[in-house]
Structure 1
Amino acid sequence: MSFSKWIGAGLGWSFGGPIGAIIGLVLGSIIDSVSDSGTPLLGDWQTKQKNQPTYRRQAQPQTQPGDFEVSLLILASVVIKADGHQDQRELDFVRQQFVNMYGQERANKAFKLFKGINQQQIPVRQVCMQIQQMMDHASRLQLLHFLFGIAKADGMVTDPEVNQIHTISGYMGISSRDFESIKAMFYDSSDNAYKILEITKEATTDEIKAAYRKMAKKYHPDRVIHLGEAHQKGAVEKFRQVQEAYEKLQKERRF
C-alpha cells in the first residue's frame, strides 16, 4: 500500500481545519511521487480531501484511529520541542510506541509523517481546538497520557514540558482534575495514589471506594475500543495505574 493510501484510508475529520493543512503540507513535501498503481502519491489523498466536508460543518463523529494517530503525531512534535531541544530518546520513544502499536512497516510510515510534521511550526491552540471539537473525551485523555509518556522518555519530565502539556490539555477542554490525575501516573510521590483517583488525603474510606469506581469507569479500556486494539494498550496501562492506586490506599487504610 502506498503512503498516500495508508494515510488517506485512516483519516476523517482531520482533512479540514489546521490539522488538514498541516498534513497537506507534509504530504506535499514527501518525495515519493509514484504509488503502487503508478499514479501520483498524493492523488488518493487529494481526492478524499475534496470530497470531505470541513470539520467545522460536521457534527461530532466517533473518533477514528487515523484521526487519533495524526493528532498524536502533531502534539508529540509540540511536546518534544517544548524544552528547546529534541532528545533522541524521546524520538526513539515515539518510534517504538508506533512499532508496538502497529508493527514495523506501518510504524515506519507513521514516523516518516512525524518527521515532516516536526519540521513545521504548529499552531497549537488551533490544532487543540479542532481536537476538542471533534474528538471524544476518552480519546483526548488517551492523547494526554501518551504525551506524558513522551516527556518522560528521557528519564524526567521537565517544567517546560509539563507547562506545554498543561497548555495543550486546557486547549483540548480537559479539566485540571483529569490533567493532575494523568500527570500523577508519571511521578513517584506519597500522595500520587490520591491524585490519580482525584481525591485528597482527607477522603474517607467510602469516598475512596466511590472515587475508584468513578475512575475505573472513566479509564476503562472499552472507552477507547473504537480506536482499535493498538490504542487499547495505552488505555490498559491507565486502568492498571488506577487499580494500583486503589490497592495502595487499601493497604495504607487497611480496608
Structure 2
Amino acid sequence: MLRWLLAVLGFALYRFPGAVIGFLIGSIFDNFRVKGSFKTTMGSRTQNVTPADFELNLLSLASLVIKADGNVNQTELDYVRQYFVQAYGRERANATFKVFNEVIKNRQISAQNICTLLRQRTRYESRLQILHFLFSIANADGNVSTPEVNEINRMAGFLGVYARDFESIKAMFFKNPDSAYKILEIDRTATVSEIKSAYRAMVKKYHPDKLQHMDEAHQKGGEEKFKKVQEAYEQLQKERGF
C-alpha cells in the first residue's frame, strides 16, 4: 500500500518523524482510493460510485442471475444480502445495496463489460469463486434452472474461465451419476491412477489458501468447493474400491 511506501521513504529522509508523516499521508491517499473514487461498468458508460467497484459489479452480476429465469425469487435475494453482510459487514453491505438501487438497478447492465473488467483485475482462482457464488445464488431456492445455468455460462466465458472448470463447479450443484467425475474433471473411463492424479490437481486448484486475499464469505465459499472435491473423491473411492 502507498502508506507503507511513503513511510519507508519518510524514514530514509527524516528518520522516525518522517516515517510517521509519510504513513499518515499515504493513509489519506489509500482511504481515498478505497472509499472515494471507484467505477462500475454499465453498458458503455462509466459512473463514479461508492463504496467499491468490485462489490457493485458482483451485485450487478448477481442481479442478472436472479432475473435470468424471469422470476425474481425472494430466497435468492435474501441469499445475496446475507452473503454481502457476511463478506463486508452490515453497514458496507447496506451502502452497496443503496448505491445499486439508486444508480445501477434501472440501467442496462452489461455482463460482458463487467466480466471483462473483473478478468483484468482479479486472479483466476477469484473468478472461480465468483462462479461458485453465482451458482449458489441460483441454487438458493433449491433449483438451478436452465436459464440460470446459461447466464452463468455466458459470464464464465467473459471471465475467461475454462470450460472444464465451469463444468466442475456446475457439477457441485447437480446430483447425477457423473457429478463426481465432472467435479474432478475426468471421464467415467478414468483409471484409479488418473482419479488420484485428478484429485491431487483439484485439491491444489481449489485449496482455500488461494482465497486468503478475499473476504470471509468468499473464503467460506472456497472451503465449500474444496469439500465438494473431497466428497467426490471419497465417492469414487467407494465405487471403485480403492
TM-score, L = length of structure 1:
0.74
Structure 1 residues 80 and 17: CA distance shift in structure 2, 3 A: closer
5 Å matches for 1:4-19? 9=34, 15=39, 18=42
Instruction: Please tell me the root mean square deviation across aligned C-alpha atoms, in Å.
Output: 2.7
Residue 114 (structure 2) aligns with? 127
> In the aligned structure 1, how far is the partner of 2:33 from the partner of 2:47?
10
Instruction: Structure 2: give runs of 5+ residues left out of the alignment.
Output: 1-29
> In the aligned structure 2, how far is the partner of 1:144 from the partner of 1:208?
24
Residue 56 (structure 1) aligns with? none
Shift of 1:173: 0.7
Report the more deviating stretch, 242-251 or 223-232.
223-232
> In the aligned structure 2, how far is the partner of 1:19 from the partner of 1:236?
34
Shift of 1:187: 0.8
> In the aligned structure 2, how far is the partner of 1:147 from the partner of 1:7?
30
The amino acid of 2:196's aligned partner reads K
Within the candidate set 160, 166, 183, 2:170 is matched to 183
Residue 229 (structure 2) aligns with? 242
Secondary structure (helix, strand or coil) at the match of 2:212 reads helix
Q: Deviations over 1:51-104 (max 9, x none)?
A: xxxxxxxxxxxxxxx554333212101111111231111111101112233333
Structure 1 residues 86 and 250: CA distance shift in structure 2, 3 A: same
Please identify which structure carries the higher strand content: 2
> In the aligned structure 2, how far is the partner of 1:184 from the partner of 1:190?
10
Instruction: Structure 1: give runs of 5+ residues left out of the alignment.
Output: 28-41, 46-65
Q: What percentage of residue pairs aligned between the two structures are identical?
A: 54
The number of residues matched between the two structures is 212
Structure 1 residues 18 and 136: CA distance shift in structure 2, 3 A: farther
Q: Deviations over 1:201-242 (max 9, x none)?
A: 100111001101111111111111111334211111111111
Judge conservation of contact 1:15–1:21 (CA < 8 Å) in 2. no
Residue 173 (structure 1) aligns with? 160
Judge conservation of contact 1:224–1:235 (CA < 8 Å) in 2. yes
The amino acid of 1:103's aligned partner reads G
Secondary structure (helix, strand or coil) at the match of 2:109 reads coil
Judge conservation of contact 1:191–1:201 (CA < 8 Å) in 2. yes
Structure 1 residues 67 and 240: CA distance shift in structure 2, 3 A: farther
Within the candidate set 99, 105, 110, 1:118 is matched to 105
Within the candidate set 188, 212, 231, 1:225 is matched to 212
> In the aligned structure 2, how far is the partner of 1:7 from the partner of 1:97?
26
Shift of 1:17: 5.5
Judge conservation of contact 1:68–1:139 (CA < 8 Å) in 2. no
Judge conservation of contact 1:219–1:239 (CA < 8 Å) in 2. yes
Query: Looking at both structures, which has the greater relative contact order when contacts are Cα pairs under 8 Å and sequence separation is at least 6?
Result: 1
TM-score, L = length of structure 2:
0.78
Judge conservation of contact 2:167–2:182 (CA < 8 Å) in 1. yes
Residue 91 (structure 1) aligns with? 77
Q: Deviations over 1:160-201 (max 9, x none)?
A: 111111100011111110000000011111110100000011
Residue 71 (structure 1) aligns with? 57
Report the more deviating stretch, 77-86 or 144-153.
77-86
> In the aligned structure 2, how far is the partner of 1:242 from the partner of 1:7?
41
Judge conservation of contact 1:216–1:239 (CA < 8 Å) in 2. yes
Judge conservation of contact 2:125–2:210 (CA < 8 Å) in 1. yes
Judge conservation of contact 1:10–1:67 (CA < 8 Å) in 2. no
